[in-house]
Amino acid sequence: MICKVEPSQKPHLPYLRLYRTQPNGLVVTHHGTQNYQEEVDIKVTITINNEDNANAADFEVSENSITIKLREESTKVAKILKQWKNWKEENSDRNFDLKEDGDGSTNVESPVSNEPLVKPQLWYYQFDNTELYNKVKTEIDKQRVILPPSPAIAGIYATVDRERGVWKAPANISLTSVTGPTIKINDEGQEDLNVHFTGKSINAIRTFTGKGTLVWGARTLAGNDNEWRYVSVRRLFNFVEESIQKASGFLVFESNNSVTWLKVKSVIEIYLEGLWRQGALAGSAPDQAFFVNVGLGTSMTQQDILEGRMIVEIGIAAVRPAEFIILRFSHILQEA
């Protein structure tokens, strides 16, 4: 999946840093951006003041630093928060906030630095700080990333196989949640990719007005081969061959005679007719869509039978009526 991102865009996601003095102590949070990740400075100091009406704490705050000045060496969290509330009413909090950790029963001792630092996960604030949580989510939704297309294409192949079958070309399919390819390709550019002189075709991903981003090609690296140039044809034959090989496994050690040949022919014809009725094979009638040959003089020689091989020939009209591609495979039925 390839998504477009403007080179000038730089992520400035909201970033929450959390500093805790002690368990059940004071928590200092900083609401900034990623740019300040290594620059936040938090200090707790002692300011001796013997006046009776002196505040339990005072604060010096800038955008990325805060100093908490305590009157006593050990101060209750509740007292600090009370003074912080009063301070915020008269000043800008400048990206900082204070709250208690747990029950707030552990006094704040001085001096305190940035230790220990906790970087909480986003989900932690989904209910504790819903406003910040929603703000971060909104910013994340605005970001764009460049991803390789392989996983999305594999998903399209799986979806087409499930909904339509391997015989449907995995092309003209929309890629969901994709802004667009990093490189825009027009019709002229596509022609050089789709029909390269080496035969190694490249299937482009293109954006069309009103249609979105589409997979616009379903060719193989055998582009010069009329039989195998399309992905859907190659995958159909792989699918049929593997399915018949597995379904005919019961033939091992069966007698290599006309009775067994008739049984094999019947099983395979029923299977292929089912594919034809689903639209996997071309032709207006089953005899135009496929044939099955098995037997002495048609698919095997006497020497093949003596050596214990049963050879089945299957023809399938994958693209145009009455045009067949021949598959040959054999089972070793018994030792000669």
Q: Tell the burial category of 40 from Cβ atoms under 10 Å away from its Cβ (0-12, 13-18, 19+).
A: buried
- The secondary structure of residue 108, as a DSSP letter, is E
What's the average model confidence in pLDDT over 205-227?
A: 86
Residues 293 and 188 in one domain: no
Mark which of 216, 248, 267 sits at the end of a domain.
216
Point out the least confidently predicted range of 12-21, 195-204, 207-216, 308-317: 12-21
Helix runs in 124-257, H state only: 125-128, 130-142, 150-163, 187-194, 231-247
Task: Specify the higher pLDDT residue, 19 or 162.
Answer: 162
Per-residue pLDDT at 259 = 92
In a shared domain, residues 73 and 50: yes
Residue 251 shares a structural domain with residue 311: yes
Return mean pLDDT, the chain.
Answer: 80
Number of domains into which the chain is organized:
3
Mean predicted confidence (pLDDT) in 172-185: 87
**CA distances from residue 317 to 199, 248, 278 in whole angstroms, order as listed:** 23, 21, 14
Q: Which helix (H) or strand (E) holds 102?
A: none
4 pLDDT above the threshold of 80: no
**For residue 222, is it within any domain?**
no
Lowest mean pLDDT among 72-76, 80-84, 190-194, 262-266: 190-194
Q: How far apart are the first and last CA of the chain?
A: 55
The single-letter DSSP state of residue 101 is S
Residues 90-136 pLDDT 10s:
887 678 888 887 788 888 887 665 454 455 566 666 766 787 788 87
What domain range is 207 assigned to?
150-216
Give the CA radius of gyration of the chain: 37
Considering the domain architecture, whether residues 135 and 42 belong to the same structural domain is answered as yes
Are 156 and 271 found together in one domain?
no
Q: Cα-flanking dihedrals φ and ψ of residue 329, to 5°? A: -150, 165
8 CB burial (10 A radius; 0-12, 13-18, 19+):
exposed
Structure tokens at 254: 């069966």
Q: H or E stretch including 173?
A: strand 173-174
pLDDT (mean) for 240-266: 88
Judge if 112 and 95 occupy the same domain.
Answer: yes
